[in-house]
């Protein structure tokens, strides 16, 4: 009996889809092969196992190799691999970018450019791609993608933290430019950045969300002063930043005048998206968490972690970590390569925060007193970094929008609950 036309059509479409899937898989595998070959010839062996600081610093032993590696990645466009080639990227699909990261990880390689660019690759760049003019994209994006230009962000103020719309820093129109006056706080890397993206008040008579603009200004000018803030962890990436008649060119207004609230909301969505990966408790982890726990806390006669309660909590942590990773992968796959930044990023940001902090707590616990050292020859390097990472990790539930702020976003934009936290 001949097949019905509808059935024939269905089979043809199914075959076409299978062929497309097989073709995509074949192309991705070919891409992986080319990545492996390129990495084998270009990644400096001296950098295997090297762990960059939060600000991209390196000692003299690694400095020249790190700069060489940055230049080679920039030439390939792999510093910001999914960005258009015209702006310094490589035009890769998200599956290709993921494969690139995986192949780097297999040999101990890494992409230093997102760290060297400060807030550029993860936040400023994606926002400029969406809101910037052709001139702004051409002037600012290549320097970010290459890691040659570092960006900071002037968002929070002493009296405008979670309620960012209460900001008081103002920009006054001077005809050919804006003059900015005010103070920002928690401006990460401001003391070593060349550019700053800042939210400023341009219409003091408007409602607080309606009179804000987003501007981009050079840090190397007389009207800008930065003061680092010392943290308990011993690392100081944060600064206070003061603007005293700082100059902003009219061509560096991002988006429309007085519509900066729309721009900064989108920028913060990109920030949350970049924070959905759980941060490791140890910067350069060379063995698995269970293996490290067994080495410190000991094993029973069956070779299991001796402390049954610690073992249970370790399993729960690993399950949560695996579930989080699979959820990130699912959301990416459902977007079919076009990663859409939405309120779901707030869920993943909080999930990543909980996983990262629980990992630090577990590590500190099984190390015991060896995990509490600050200095001294009796402590190994991994032990000294553990207590610093544990202290630094407390900031994860604050920066990028606090844990509570993310819950407010989830309740309003996902659960549809009424707005009760912001007015004006």
Query: pLDDT, tens digit, for every residue of 94-148?
Result: 899 989 999 998 998 999 999 999 999 999 999 999 999 999 999 999 999 999 9
According to CATH, where is 1.20.140.10 located in the chain? 275-413
198, β-bridge pairs? 154, 215
pTM of the predicted structure, to 2 decimals: 0.75
Q: For position 284, what pLDDT does the model report?
A: 38
Q: Burial letters for 297-313: b for 16+ Cβ neighbours within 10 Å, e otherwise?
A: beeeeeeebebeeebee
Q: For position 335, what pLDDT does the model report?
A: 59
- Look at 17-26, 233-242, 384-393, 395-404 and tell me which has the smallest mean pLDDT: 17-26
- Look at 163-177, 228-242, 297-311 and tell me which has the smallest mean pLDDT: 228-242
According to CATH, where is 2.40.110.10 located in the chain? 150-259
pLDDT at residue 399 greater than cutoff 90 = no
Q: Greater confidence, 135 or 414? A: 135
Give the whole-angstrom CA distance, residue 219 versus residue 243.
Answer: 10
Tokens 């899937």 sit on residue: 21
Q: For position 2, what pLDDT does the model report?
A: 47
Q: Using CA atoms of 279, 282, 288, 291 in order, give the dihedral in degrees to the nearest 10.
A: -140
Q: Which of 248, 329, 276 is nearest to 122 (CA)?
A: 276
**Spacing of C-alpha 289 from chain mean position:** 23
Q: Greater confidence, 404 or 212? A: 212
3.40.190, 2.60.40, 3.40.50, 1.10.540: CATH of 19-116: 1.10.540
Q: For position 285, what pLDDT does the model report?
A: 44
Backbone Cα Rg of the chain = 24
3.40.50.2000, 2.40.37.10, 2.40.110.10, 3.20.20.70: CATH of 150-259: 2.40.110.10
pLDDT at residue 293 greater than cutoff 70 = yes
Give the whole-angstrom CA distance, residue 199 versus residue 25.
Answer: 44
Q: How sure is the predictor about 275, in pLDDT bands with cuts at 50, 70 and 90?
A: low
Give the whole-angstrom CA distance, residue 353 versus residue 348.
Answer: 8
Are 199 and 162 in contact, with CB atoms under 8 Å apart? no
What residues have CB less than 8 Å from 45, skipping those under 6 apart? Answer: none
Q: How sure is the predictor about 395, in pLDDT bands with cuts at 50, 70 and 90?
A: confident
Q: For position 347, what pLDDT does the model report?
A: 82
Out of 103, 271, 321, 382, the active site residue is 271
Q: How sure is the predictor about 171, in pLDDT bands with cuts at 50, 70 and 90?
A: very high
184, β-bridge pairs? 241
Specify the CATH number of the domain 275-413: 1.20.140.10
* CA dihedral (190, 269, 266, 405) positive or negative: negative
271 is catalytic: yes
According to CATH, where is 1.10.540 located in the chain? 19-116
Are 115 and 55 in contact, with CB atoms under 8 Å apart? yes
Of 2-6, 267-271, 326-330, 372-376, which has the strongest mean pLDDT?
A: 372-376
pLDDT at residue 324 greater than cutoff 90 = no
Return the percentage of the chain with pLDDT > 90, whole number.
51
């Amino acid at each position: 009996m001949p097949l019905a036309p509808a059935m024939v059509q269905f089979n043809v479409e199914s075959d076409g889809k299978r062929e497309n899937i097989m073709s995509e898989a074949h192309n991705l595998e070919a891409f992986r092969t080319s990545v492996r070959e390129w990495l084998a010839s270009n990644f400096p062996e001296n950098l295997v196992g090297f762990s960059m600081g939060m600000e991209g610093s390196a000692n003299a032993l690694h400095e020249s190799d790190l700069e060489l590696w940055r230049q080679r990645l920039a030439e390939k466009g792999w510093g910001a691999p999914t960005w258009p080639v015209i702006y310094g990227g490589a035009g890769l699909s998200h599956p290709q970018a993921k494969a690139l990261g995986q192949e780097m990880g297999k040999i101990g390689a890494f992409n230093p450019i997102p760290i060297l660019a400060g807030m550029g690759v993860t936040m400023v760049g994606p926002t400029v791609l969406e809101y910037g003019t052709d001139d702004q994209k051409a002037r600012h994006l290549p320097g970010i993608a290459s890691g040659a230009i570092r960006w900071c962000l002037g968002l929070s103020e002493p009296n405008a933290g979670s309620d960012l719309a209460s900001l008081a820093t103002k920009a006054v129109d001077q005809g050919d430019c804006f003059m900015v006056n005010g103070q920002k706080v928690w401006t990460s890397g401001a003391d070593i950045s060349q550019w700053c993206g800042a939210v400023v008040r341009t219409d003091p008579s408007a409602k607080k969300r309606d009179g804000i603009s987003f501007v981009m200004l050079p840090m190397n000018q007389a009207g800008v002063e930065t003061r680092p803030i010392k943290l308990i962890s011993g690392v100081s990436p944060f600064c206070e930043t003061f603007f005293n008649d700082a100059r902003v060119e009219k061509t560096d207004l991002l988006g429309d005048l007085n519509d900066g609230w729309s721009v900064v909301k989108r920028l913060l969505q990109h920030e949350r998206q970049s924070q959905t990966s759980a941060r490791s408790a140890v910067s350069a982890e060379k063995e698995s968490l269970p293996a490290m726990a067994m080495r410190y806390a000991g094993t029973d006669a069956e070779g299991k972690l001796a402390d049954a309660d610690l073992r249970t909590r370790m399993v729960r942590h690993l399950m949560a970590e695996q579930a989080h990773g699979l959820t990130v992968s699912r959301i990416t796959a459902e977007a079919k390569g076009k990663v859409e930044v939405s309120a779901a990023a707030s869920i993943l940001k909080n999930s990543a925060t909980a996983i990262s902090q629980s990992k630090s707590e577990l590590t500190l616990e099984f190390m015991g007193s060896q995990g509490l050292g600050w200095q001294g020859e009796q402590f190994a390097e991994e032990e000294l970094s553990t207590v610093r990472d544990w202290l630094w990790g407390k900031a994860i539930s604050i920066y990028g929008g606090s844990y509570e702020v993310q819950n407010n976003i989830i309740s309003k934009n996902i659960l549809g609950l009424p707005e009760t936290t912001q007015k004006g």
